[in-house]
């Protein structure tokens, strides 16, 4: 591989980034941060509630000094529009100074959508991309995102993913740059209790987001510089955190990288794996991180094969190669060879983490054609044929 390459700095548009407070123990800062907005808060958590655990009890005790807290622990899976509508209906007449989401990506997305709908009312369905007909104006109640997993990066994105499973199902976003959380409070200690299978699925979602935004046709110097380091951190740290959940250094690396993946996806976009997440996610009930993780190696293998045949000097090949070279001791390989090393690394990660196949969740071979037709390739560096899309799915069904 040739020596140092300096990339051209092209024009780009940078979307909002929240005020970020990162580090072990930073949850302690939440009460003081909330005071900046007022003293009435709506706190949304998951059903397996963080609030009943040790950190939650400490937080509640520290918040209760004169504050009016409405606590809602109900989000158990990826939220639907009616989940959001129900919460908004219940609290729309109340004075709420800030909404806090404490939980995994589903909780953060639900809380983000609630903060976006409390001021405008009506059904969120009307404002979902490709589903409703109205454009959200971007106004919201101040929103603080506190992730307890390291995955979706919702703490730093402008969208909330909402889904409905079924014949006319969908998995689409409520999106506006005004919906970026006011504060992302990222305390990696909160993820140490995350079980191995959730750690691995969430981490693979973040890795998918980083790789897809890194090789995106809309990538730019800003997102690339963030994505490169975060990809390396996840590949190194994810197996460690899955093996030993209390490895705080690994947890810090994952929490940081997941947060960065939100920034890079919001600014450079996503690719075909997230296209599948949308088309498959509307048909069957499968955790988003499992779906992304299980397809990650196969999808990038097909993308690279296509590029090596059609456009071997494509920026995406050079980027695959750059990460591949970082993890390879052998010197003087070609860009193509280092790129293949990177794909092999991804495939090994999928295998080592033992990510379930999509067939385990009810996806049938006869559904694949339809899914391939519905799959957007968004910002993918190459337009894959239907046959190539089917090859990805068949490799992991």
Contacts with Fe ion by CB under 5 A: the residue count is 1
Contact present, 147 and 154 (Cβ < 8 Å):
yes
Cα-Cα end-to-end distance for the chain: 35
Q: What angle do CA 248, 250, 253 make, to 5 degrees?
A: 110
The full DSSP string for 306-334 is: HHHHH-TT-HHHHHHHHHHHHT----S--
Q: How far is the CB of 206 from Fe ion (least distance, A)?
A: 8
Toward Fe ion, which CB reaches closer, 161 or 323? Answer: 161
Nearer to Fe ion among residue 38 and residue 169 (C-beta): 169
Nearer to Fe ion, 232 or 378 (CB): 378
CB of residue 53 to Fe ion, shortest distance in Å: 26
Name which of 158 and 205 has its Cβ closer to Fe ion.
205
Which CB, 237 or 261, lies closer to Fe ion? 261
Residue 66 CA: distances (Å) to CA of 31, 35, 41, 54, 254: 11, 11, 12, 21, 35
Q: How far is the CB of 153 from Fe ion (least distance, A)?
A: 8
Write down the least CB distance from residue 97 to Fe ion, Å.
30
Least distance from Fe ion to the Cβ atom of residue 242, Å: 18
Closest CB 10 distance from Fe ion, rounded Å: 25
Instruction: Give the shortest CB-332-to-Fe ion separation in angstroms.
Output: 36
- The reply to whether 182 sits near Fe ion by the rule CB under 5 A is no
Nearer to Fe ion, 281 or 336 (CB): 281
Q: Specify burial of residue 74 (Cβ count, 10 A radius: 0-12, 13-18, 19+).
A: middle
Distance CA 90, CA 108 (A): 18
If the CB atoms of residues 78 and 205 are measured against Fe ion, the closer one turns out to be 205
For the CB of residue 155, give the shortest distance to Fe ion in the complex, in Å.
13
Sign of CA dihedral 189, 194, 200, 201: negative
Q: How far is the CB of 214 from Fe ion (least distance, A)?
A: 14
Which residue is at the shortest CB distance from Fe ion? Answer: 205
Residues contacting 224, CB < 8 A, separation 6+: 7, 214, 319
Q: List the interface residues with Fe ion, window 220-279 (CB under 5 A).
A: none
Spatial CA neighbour of 157 closest among 180, 186, 129: 180
User: Site mask, Fe ion, residues 185-224, x = CB under 5 A?
Assistant: --------------------x-------------------
Cα–Cα distances in angstroms (integers) from residue 282 to residues 78, 203, 257, 277, in the given order: 11, 22, 27, 8
What lies within 8 Å, CB to CB, of 20 at 6+ separation is 156, 183, 184, 186, 259
Nearer to Fe ion, 118 or 258 (CB): 258
What is the Cα–Cα distance from 308 to 305, expressed in whole angstroms? 5
Place of tokens 């730093």: 156
Q: How far from chain centre, in Å, is Cα 167?
A: 25
The whole-angstrom separation of Cα 223 and Cα 162 is 25
Residues in touch with Fe ion (CB under 5 A): 205
């Amino acid at each position: 591989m040739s020596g140092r390459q300096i990339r051209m700095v092209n024009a780009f548009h940078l979307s909002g980034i929240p005020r970020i407070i990162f580090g072990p123990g930073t949850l302690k800062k939440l009460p003081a941060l909330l005071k900046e907005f007022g003293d009435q808060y709506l706190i949304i958590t998951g059903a397996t509630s963080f609030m009943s655990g040790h950190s939650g009890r400490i937080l509640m005790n520290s918040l209760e000094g004169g504050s009016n807290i409405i606590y809602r622990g109900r989000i158990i899976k990826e939220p639907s529009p009616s989940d959001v509508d129900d919460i908004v209906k219940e609290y729309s007449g109340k004075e709420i100074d800030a909404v806090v989401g404490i939980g995994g990506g589903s909780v953060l997305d639900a809380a983000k959508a609630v903060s976006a709908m409390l001021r405008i009312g009506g059904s969120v369905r009307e404002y979902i991309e490709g589903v409703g007909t109205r454009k959200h104006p971007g106004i919201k109640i101040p929103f603080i995102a506190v992730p307890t997993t390291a995955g979706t990066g919702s703490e730093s994105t402008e969208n909330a993913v909402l889904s409905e499973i079924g014949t006319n199902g969908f998995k689409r976003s409520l999106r506006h740059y005004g919906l970026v959380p006011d504060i992302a409070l990222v305390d990696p200690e909160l993820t140490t209790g995350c079980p191995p299978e959730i750690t691995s699925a969430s981490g693979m979602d973040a890795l998918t987001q980083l790789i897809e935004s890194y090789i995106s046709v809309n990538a730019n110097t800003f997102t690339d510089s963030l994505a490169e380091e975060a990809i390396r951190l996840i590949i190194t740290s994810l197996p460690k955190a899955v093996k030993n959940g209390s490895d705080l250094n690994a947890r810090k690396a994952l929490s940081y990288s997941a947060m960065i993946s939100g920034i890079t996806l919001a600014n450079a976009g996503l690719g075909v794996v997230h296209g599948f997440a949308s088309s498959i996610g509307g048909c069957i009930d499968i955790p988003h991180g499992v779906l992304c993780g299980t397809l990650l190696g196969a999808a990038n293998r097909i993308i690279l094969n296509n590029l090596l045949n059609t456009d071997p000097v494509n920026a995406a090949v050079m980027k695959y190669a750059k990460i591949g070279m970082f993890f390879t001791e052998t010197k003087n390989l070609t860009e193509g060879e280092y790129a293949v090393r990177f794909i092999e690394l991804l495939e090994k990660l999928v295998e080592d983490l033992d990510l379930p196949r999509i067939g385990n969740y009810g996806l049938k071979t006869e559904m694949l054609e339809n899914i391939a037709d519905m799959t957007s390739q968004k910002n993918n560096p190459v337009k894959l044929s239907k046959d190539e899309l089917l090859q990805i799915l068949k490799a992991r069904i």
